[in-house]
Structure formats: C-alpha cells, structure tokens
Structure 1
Amino acid sequence: MQTRTALSLIALAALTACATQPMRAPFNQADLPAAVQVPAGNKVALEHAAAGDVKYQCSAKKDMAGQYEWVFVGPDAGLKDRSGKIVGKYYGPPATWEANDGSKVTATQVAVSPNGTGNLPLQLTKANPATGMGMMQGVTFIQRVATVGGAAPSAACSKANEGASQLVRYTADYIYYKAM
C-alpha cells in the first residue's frame, strides 16, 4: 500500500511539473521569405532540430571543360524533438526523414532562399506520401529553417582532388506540416 501511495504521489508530482511548464508557441513562418512559406491549408504538426553533416564531392562541372566544383552528395543528421529526445534521422538522396517509429517521408524541393554566408539556404519541400505508420504519416510540407553551416566547402576543388569528398557540419530546424 505504501508503495502504491508513493508511486501515485510521484505521478502526481510529474503531472504537476508538466502542467507548470510554459507552453512553447507554435512555429510562426511570418518572418520567412514568401518563397519558402507553406501554402494556406496546412498547419504545423512536428518540429525537429537536426545536427549532422552534409557530404560534398569535388567534380568536374558539366559542359565546362577544366572547371571543377563541390557538388552536394547528401545529408546525414540526427533529429531531436524540442525536449532533446532523439526521434529519428535525416539522410539522402533522396531527402528522407525517418522516425524511430519506422515511418518515413521523402520530399521534393519546391523553393530555397539564401540564409547568410556559409549556411545552407532555407528550404521548402513538398512531401511524398509517407511509408509506415507513425509520426510522418500525413506530412504535406517540410521547411528547413534556422540553418547554421552546411554550405559547400571553401577548400580548393580542382583536377588534383577530383573525386575527393568532404563533410561539412550543419544544424537546422525542420518544421513538418499536415493538411488542416
């Protein structure tokens, strides 16, 4: 009986603590460039913070003999919810957001907008139908915001290092929308 009472008090204390935490305001896209705003008729369903790497490869420019550039290969990042719990991963190609519950969604880029030197651009993608049942089910759009880092390397890219790969660290927030 004492154990049951003690557990009840602990549960009550935990619920009270949760109830007294300030509510985090939902993401507001009003300050974003129009190109990467999600169309009306969709609402924020999930928010994840990502941290990881973007892989680039030094390659010859198409139809430009003797010129080279760093080409985006793909991301590899962990996804955390706002409490800091690891909830999935982001990788590609194709761009894939996969939740720990097994659901995943791919998406196609709709628009980008610059976000400062050295940072990946802000991005709006249109989601394809999700696979697996879980948190990614029903996602319609995904925004990449608050990007830090991840832009192509500043290191030289030439015939001498053609085929070389380089990882660039980045962080970003991914905001997932579902139809209202």
Structure 2
Amino acid sequence: MKNLTLAACAAAAALLSACAGGPMAMSQPFDQGMLPAAVQVPTGHKVAMETVGAGDITYECRAKAGMAGQHEWVFVGPDARLMDRSGKMVGKYYGPPATWENLDGSKVTATQVAVAPAAAGSIPLQLVKANPAMGSGAMTGTSYIQRVATRGGVAPASACGAANLGAKEVVKYQADYIFYKPV
C-alpha cells in the first residue's frame, strides 16, 4: 500500500510539473451533456471553434461596496493567448470589456448569461451571449461562448486591506473557450 501511495504521489508530481511548463492540451471535443444546465448553449447552435486560453487575470484590492472598513480582491481583467487544439496561437482574450480577438482581426465582446461552479481553486464555468462581431473573419457570426475546463484564476489568497488598497495582483489561469454559431 505504501509503494502504491508513493507511486501515486510521484505520478501526481510529474503531472503537475508538466502542467507548469505550459498550457495543457484540450480534452476531447466538448460534450454539452457534461455541463451544468445553466451554462449549456441553447439548441440551434453548433460548435464553430474550440480554443484553450492560457494567461493571467488581474485583481485589485478595493473597498467593498456599501461595507465600510471592509476590502476585497476585485476582478480587473484577463490577458490570455487563445490556442487551437494543436497548441497554435489563434488569438487573444483581454479586457475590459471582455474581448476575444482572432489573429485575422475579427473580434467579439459578450454579455454574461450564467455561471456555474468549477473545481475548487478555479474560476467558474461561464456562458456568454456574443455581441455582433467587429471585423470580418473567424469571430463573425459567433452567438455564444462557453468558458469550461477552468484551472486557477481565483482571487489571490493574500490579505487585502486598507494598507494595500489599490494594490494589484496577477494570477495564472487556463480555460477552454468554446465558440458557437447558429445552425
């Protein structure tokens, strides 16, 4: 039993060190049935593009609204590279406002529809409804974007208080972004 536990720990350490070197490959083609209902794309839409976003999320220490003397880390915005399944960069994700931009120059912003919990230590799964695309290209006609398979990205664990009000911290994250278009 002890050898099995040591082997499992060694395998986990090897996996974690491999992950630290760069973005993990995407899982198999995404299955809507594996998602909470709140973040499933409505019928009548099909997958147009699947990407892995890997990068940073910036948080800022701010006073809590309506709660005198209390502070919290507030999401400021993302800065990530979007890669296809082979690991080739195809675009970027940044904000505010949240913007997905393809290398062909087309880009889209979106409005959040729903979120659902993800694994501990990871930002939530998300469904957004796309606004009309700017420019002509891969983002043209995008109707919905899902953020799934999230890893990391949660607010910093460090203290946020009057002493460091306005301080910014950057955390690493990764997520799959699935783009949909009407059928």
> What TM-score do the two structures reach when normalised by structure 2?
0.84
Per-residue Cα deviation, 1:134-176 (whole angstroms, up to 9, x for no partner):
0000000000000000011111000000000000100000000
* Percent of matched pairs sharing the same residue: 67
Write the distance in 1 (CA, Å) between the matches of 2:58 and 2:135: 27
Query: Paired residues, what number?
Result: 157
The structural deviation recorded for 1:28 is: 1.2
Residue 45 of structure 2, aligned match among 42, 53, 71: 42
Write the distance in 1 (CA, Å) between the matches of 2:29 and 2:53: 18
Structure 1 equivalent of residue 135 of structure 2? 132
Residue 143 of structure 1, aligned match among 123, 146, 166: 146
Structure 2 equivalent of residue 122 of structure 1? 125
The one-letter amino acid paired with 1:37 is: Q
Structure 2 equivalent of residue 153 of structure 1? 156
Per-residue Cα deviation, 1:34-62 (whole angstroms, up to 9, x for no partner):
00000000000000001000000000001
The structural deviation recorded for 1:25 is: 5.9
**SS at 2:49's partner residue?**
strand
Pairwise mapping of residues 20-35 of structure 1 onto structure 2 (< 5 A)? 26-35=29-38
**SS at 1:27's partner residue?**
coil
Structure 1 equivalent of residue 19 of structure 2? none
Larger radius of gyration, structure 1 or 2? Answer: 1
Contact 1:130 1:139 in 2 (8 A): yes
Contact 1:26 1:44 in 2 (8 A): no
Gap runs ≥5 in structure 2: 1-26
Structure 2 equivalent of residue 61 of structure 1? 64
The structural deviation recorded for 1:116 is: 2.0
> What TM-score do the two structures reach when normalised by structure 1?
0.85
Task: State the superposition RMSD in angstroms.
Answer: 1.0
Moved over 6 A (4+): none
